[in-house]
Copies of this chain bind each other. A is one copy, B any other.
Amino acid sequence: MEDRFEISLLLDYYIDLLTEKQKDIMFMYYNDDFSLAEIAEINNTSRQAIHDLIKRCDKQLINYEEKLQLVEKSKIRKSKKNDLIKKLTNEYMLSKELVEDIDEMLDEIINS
């Protein structure tokens, strides 16, 4: 299986592109930390079937990120936001309160 942290992050962005069944199983595995055997029992299927489904979804999520780069773009936005905040503080010498206000509004912008 792929790196758990990476896949959890990809799920945040691309979960809605999976089917309801895929969503449920990926959530159980990556968020709720169920074992393959437990998920198989709940879904009345084999451990191997669950393993294969998760591997297929992993690949799908990685493929979406390769194409749309939503995780990467979000990281870039965060890093540019931090640069801007530093600039406002150190170069433009804005007051701490004002910079904090702007920082908060910027978070709202980049997280929407």
Contact = CB atoms under 8 A, between A and B. Distances in A.
A67 interface: yes
Given A16-B67, A109-B110, A102 B84 contact: yes
Number of copies: 2
Contacts of A88: 102
Contacts of A14: 68
Interface stretch (A2-10, A37-45, A74-82): A74-82
Interface residues on A, range: 20 to 34
Interface of A: 14, 16-17, 64, 67-68, 70, 73, 76-77, 80-81, 84, 87-88, 92, 94, 98, 101-102, 105-106, 108-110, 112
Given A17-B68, A80-B112, A106-B109, 18 more contacts: A14-B68, A16-B68, A17-B64, A68-B70, A70-B70, A76-B112, A77-B109, A80-B105, A80-B108, A80-B109, A81-B109, A84-B106, A88-B102, A92-B98, A92-B101, A106-B106, A109-B110, A110-B110
